[in-house]
Amino acid sequence: MSSESESEPAESVQTEEAETVPTSETAPSSVDETTEAIARTGLFESAEHETSGAAELISEEGQQTLRFDASFSTSNGPDLVVVLHRSADLIEETTPPAYPLNEADYVVIAPLSSTTGVQEYVIPAEINVEAFEAVAIWCQEFNATFGAAPLQ
């Protein structure tokens, strides 16, 4: 009888180990696969200055981020900032050559970090991105829109 009682606990230990190993191995991969989602994208259109490339609005773990791709390019200028704008057609709705913005229609996200290439801008949590339809590169000093990307 002592050999039967010794083998039973060994089987229970193996069963417990077999159940816990797959659970701990699969949990991290499930989280990693679902943390980032592209919410909206758009292509830049030129306005006051030649501007091109793509923008992506990304939602990751409750944080909204605006990302420009490697093909992003715009002209150099004073006081350039990245803004979210309420209209998807802001270039059509503004007047050349400067394409000025109305203060009530946009929110400044951050100063433009580079005139070319990949860059990311974290959108503050208090900004409701659903209220904005485009991202733009804007010169605050001269109220001139360099380019904009409608987000779809």
- pLDDT (0 to 100) of residue 15: 35
Query: Does the pLDDT value for residue 19 go beyond 50?
Result: no
3-class DSSP state of 85: strand
Q: How far apart, in whole angstroms, are the C-alpha atoms of residue 33 and residue 147?
A: 33
Q: What is the pLDDT of residues 37-85, one digit of tens each?
A: 889 999 999 999 999 999 999 998 889 999 999 999 999 999 999 999 9
What pTM does this model have? Answer: 0.76
**Spatial contact of 83 and 108, defined as CB atoms under 8 Å apart:** yes
Mean pLDDT of 15-19: 37
Query: Does the pLDDT value for residue 16 go beyond 50?
Result: no
Task: Beginning with the edge strand found earlier in the chain, give each strand of the sheet holding 106-111 in spatial order.
Answer: 45-46, 144-150, 134-139, 80-85, 106-111
Q: What is the pLDDT of residues 98-138, one digit of tens each?
A: 999 999 999 999 999 999 999 999 999 999 999 999 999 99
**Spatial contact of 75 and 146, defined as CB atoms under 8 Å apart:** yes
- pLDDT (0 to 100) of residue 55: 98
- Confidence category of residue 35, pLDDT binned at 50, 70, 90: low
- Nearby residues of 79 by Cβ (< 8 Å), 6 or more positions away: 111, 139, 140, 141
